[in-house]
Amino acid sequence: MSDAARLEQARHGAVLVLTLDDAARRNALSLPLREMLADALEAAEGDRSVRAIVVTGASGNFCSGGDLVGMQVPDALAGRERLRRVHRLIRLLVAGSKPVVAAVEGWCVGAGLSLACACDLVVTAENARFLAAFNRVGLMADLGLGWTLPARVGLGRAKRILFLGQQITPAQAESWGLADEVVPSGSALATALERAQFLAAQAPAPMAMTKTMLAAGLDAALEAERHYQTLLFLSADHAEGRSAFLEKREPRFGTE
């Protein structure tokens, strides 16, 4: 993780705004940054004055994906532990008691897409670009995306997004249900705050119970992801995909 990486927190009445801030890396979601975000969400769970949450990124990007540079998974136990830790974040977003709105500008890639899809509402700017290219590094979608994405866009479109790894424009994202509304560039956070303030004014218990009900099946999906992704962490194809990414070249899979 960059020395400058941090999580900014700001209050707007009953709304807590959490901002990923690692501009040099377009807010790549390193493991420490994921844990900072999970800790902030955990604290919000116990704070009744927080009634809604906005998650966004600094410097014109939401999140450029996971941290391949810092990803060290030497064995199966390390892989399972890595996923156990990051799944805490997804459970807090999807099944926590507070409604969460994502404010997306710029890149929303890989783990960033997973983060956005784990939120209850997604407000996207016209300059946003969505991309899921996990297969290019020899991995499957993680951070719950295998559960949240089909729930948002349907199975067929989820396969198209995950298998083809093509960029998705905001207009396409809205038409597919990946994003809930598209706003002018630079205004995603302001609009997300408006939506969060509306949610914060609603009765909190029904909101929390509705989120719990809608999260049925998440735990089983995360446990399956934990098993399969751990196998892929240790695969030759992931080793090749990671090397190709770091060397800025096309991967050559299945050549061992």
User: By residue range, what is the domain housing residue 166?
Assistant: 6-200
CATH number at residue 82: 3.90.226.10
Query: Which residues neighbour 20 within 8 Å (Cβ) at sequence distance 6 or greater?
Result: 7, 27, 29, 33, 37, 55, 56, 57, 58, 62, 63
Residue 229, domain member (yes or no)? no
Residue 56, domain member (yes or no)? yes
* pLDDT tens per residue across span 32-46: 899 999 999 999 999
The letter for the amino acid at 13 is G
Of the pLDDT bands very low, low, confident and very high (cuts 50, 70, 90), residue 206 is very high
Of the pLDDT bands very low, low, confident and very high (cuts 50, 70, 90), residue 255 is low
* pLDDT tens per residue across span 55-79: 999 999 999 998 777 677 889 998 9
User: What total number of domains does the chain contain?
Assistant: 1
Q: Among 19-28, 42-51, 99-108, name the one with the lowest average pLDDT.
A: 19-28
**Whether pLDDT at 256 is above 70:** no
Of the pLDDT bands very low, low, confident and very high (cuts 50, 70, 90), residue 3 is low
Residue 75, domain member (yes or no)? yes
Q: What CA–CA distance (Å, rounded) separates 27 from 34?
A: 11
Residue 129, domain member (yes or no)? yes
Residue 108, domain member (yes or no)? yes
Task: Write out the DSSP string of 189-232.
Answer: HHHHHHHHHHHHTS-HHHHHHHHHHHTTTHHHHHHHHHHHHHHH
What percentage of the chain carries pLDDT values higher than 70? 98
> What is the token pair recorded at 197?
């303030």
pLDDT reported for residue 72 = 76
| Helix (H), strand (E) counts: the chain | 10, 8
Of 87, 98, 95, 121, nearest in space to 44 by CA: 98
Q: What angle do CA 66, 69, 144 make, to 5 degrees?
A: 20
Residue 79, domain member (yes or no)? yes
Average pLDDT value for residue range 213-236: 96
How confident is the prediction for the chain on average, in pLDDT? 95
What residue spans of the chain are helical by DSSP H?
31-45, 76-95, 111-118, 145-153, 155-164, 170-176, 188-200, 204-214, 218-233, 236-247
* pLDDT tens per residue across span 96-129: 999 999 999 999 999 999 999 999 999 999 999 9
Residue 210, domain member (yes or no)? no
- CB 236, CB 256: distance < 8 Å: yes
- CB 193, CB 61: distance < 8 Å: no
What percentage of the chain carries pLDDT values higher than 90? 88
- CB 251, CB 136: distance < 8 Å: yes
CA-only gyration radius of the chain, Å: 17
- CB 68, CB 137: distance < 8 Å: yes
Packing angle between helix 111-118 and helix 145-153, nearest 10 degrees? 60
Residue 116, domain member (yes or no)? yes
